[in-house]
Amino acid sequence: MSGVERPLTLFHLPDGSSVVFYAYPHEAFFTEAPDETEAAQALFSRLHDCSSAV
């Protein structure tokens, strides 16, 4: 699994799939790449765990 190195938004679609959105001043794009979606899901899971521990 790769790490998350850029600002991102993770979208969970109604069909159960996920996509990651990257926005930059000069471009924006979506990706369904498994390594990118898995890294984003892991990041948001860790953030949720940290915020729940408080």
pLDDT, tens digit, 9 for 90 and up, residues 10-23: 999 999 999 999 98
Rounded (5°) CA angle 4-25-3: 5
Model confidence at 3: pLDDT above 60:
no
Contacts of 17 (CB under 8 A, 6+ apart): 32
Q: Which residue has the tokens 């930059």?
A: 24
Mean pLDDT across the stretch 20-36?
92
pTM: 0.75
Residue % of the chain over a pLDDT of 70: 87
Mean pLDDT across the stretch 29-34?
94
As given in the structure block, the two tokens for residue 23 are 């926005």
For residues 7 and 23, is the Cβ–Cβ distance under 8 A?
A: yes
